[in-house]
């Protein structure tokens, strides 16, 4: 299982638009093969910093996600909504321990 955490610095004046774009991207991405969870959150210390937390079954599923039209659209509009580059980190996990 892969865990992806992305931090996106939003432009304050675009906050409402960002929320809509990210909500749509998350909802669509949850339908991608291999997506176990996908959600965006607002940083409690900085309301213009958005954080996505995603879990994917395997690398092939994540690679396929990056090739989808909905993610291409997100990357297309991102420069007008973000104040800087996103930071994306990927971690491997064996899943929950019982």
Q: What is the pLDDT of residues 64-98, one digit of tens each?
A: 999 999 999 999 999 999 999 999 999 998 876 66
- What percent of the chain clears pLDDT 90, i.e. is strictly above it? 94
Structure tokens at 56: 């994917």
User: For 83, phi and psi rounded to 5 degrees?
Assistant: -95, 0
- Average pLDDT of 29-58? 96
* Pairing label, strands 35-43, 46-56: antiparallel
As a whole number, the mean pLDDT across the chain is: 94
Q: What is the pTM of this model?
A: 0.88
Torsion angle, alpha carbons of 66, 26, 58, 10, to 10: 60
Quick count: other Cβ atoms within 10 Å of Cβ 96? 6
Measured CA angle at 28 (ends 5, 46), to 5 deg: 40
Quick count: other Cβ atoms within 10 Å of Cβ 7? 16
* Pairing label, strands 2-9, 46-56: antiparallel
- pLDDT of residue 17 exceeding 90, the answer is yes
Query: Would you state the pLDDT for residue 98?
Result: 66
């Amino acid at each position: 299982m892969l865990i992806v955490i992305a931090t996106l610095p939003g432009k304050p004046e675009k906050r409402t638009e960002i929320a809509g774009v990210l909500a749509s991207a998350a909802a669509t991405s949850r339908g991608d093969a291999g997506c176990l969870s996908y959600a965006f959150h607002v940083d409690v210390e900085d309301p213009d910093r958005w954080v996505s937390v995603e879990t994917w079954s395997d690398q092939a599923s994540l690679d396929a996600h990056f090739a989808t039209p909905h993610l291409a659209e997100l990357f297309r509009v991102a420069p007008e909504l973000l104040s800087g580059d996103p930071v994306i980190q990927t971690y491997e996990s064996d899943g929950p321990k019982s």
